[in-house]
A and B are shown apart, each in its own frame.
Chain A
Amino acid sequence: MSSSTGLESLVDQTISIITNDGRNIVGVLRGFDQATNIILDESHERVYSTKEGVQQLVLGLYIIRGDNISIVGEIDEELDEKLDLSKLRAHPLKPVIH
């Protein structure tokens, strides 16, 4: 169903997760549940800083608790390939304050 709010349509696709503490983790969505808990395979973290380009840290297989998730973004591979991460500079995202 195309109008569902679930993450079914994103399973086995590369996604970008922004966590409540402002981290950005990219990986392949393998599973999820009602509480937005997420199983992320082949994941890596993209660390933003103003001093140097984006650093990529390999994490591997992760389970992220839903409570700690802000955004799940569908990565457009074409756009992502065009990005030059080594030239991107930005402050890390602020943590979520409830």
Chain B
Amino acid sequence: MLFFSYFKDLVGREVTVELKNDLAIRGTLHSVDQYLNIKLENTRVVDQDKYPHMLSVRNCFIRGSVVRYVQLPPEGVDVELLHDATRREARGG
């Protein structure tokens, strides 16, 4: 639940989602759900020459299960806050 809330706070930010098939897609985070499925707007594939498979796609839905990394804007991460929150969740409260 923690990372769901965390990603919800990032809505509207520019992120890069790297998939488990090595495709990396950059776009504006539009929404996220309980499975950490992600919707991006104004997407562009990071290496378009190598991956022209999504040239006519501007908005997309990425299944949470295929996400390897989400690269965040530096100002989108409050490391201290996240540390505290993860520790609190690990303790079960």
Of B21, B56, B59, the residue contacting A22 (CB under 8 A) is B21
> A3-B31, A5-B39, A96-B19 are contacts. A73–B59 as well, Cβ < 8 Å?
yes
State in angstroms the CA–CA spacing of A80 and B75 once bound together: 35
Give every chain B residue within 8 A of A94 (Cβ-Cβ). Answer: 21-22
Give every chain A residue within 8 A of B38 (Cβ-Cβ). Answer: 5
Give every chain B residue within 8 A of A22 (Cβ-Cβ). Answer: 21
**CB of A24 within 8 A of chain B?**
yes
The interface size bin for chain A is 35 or more
Main secondary structure of the interface of B (DSSP, over half): mixed
Interface contacts (Cβ under 8 Å), in number, total 94
Type the 1/0 row for A79-93, where 1 means its CB is closer than 8 Å to any CB of B: 110010000101101
**CB of A7 within 8 A of chain B?**
yes
Give every chain B residue within 8 A of A3 (Cβ-Cβ). Answer: 11, 30-31
State in angstroms the CA–CA spacing of A55 and B62 once bound together: 25
Type the 1/0 row for B8-39, where 1 means its CB is closer than 8 Å to any CB of A: 00010000000111110100001111000111
Interface residues of A (CB under 8 A from B): 3-7, 10, 16, 18, 20, 22, 24, 36, 46, 48, 66-67, 69-76, 79-80, 83, 88, 90-91, 93-98
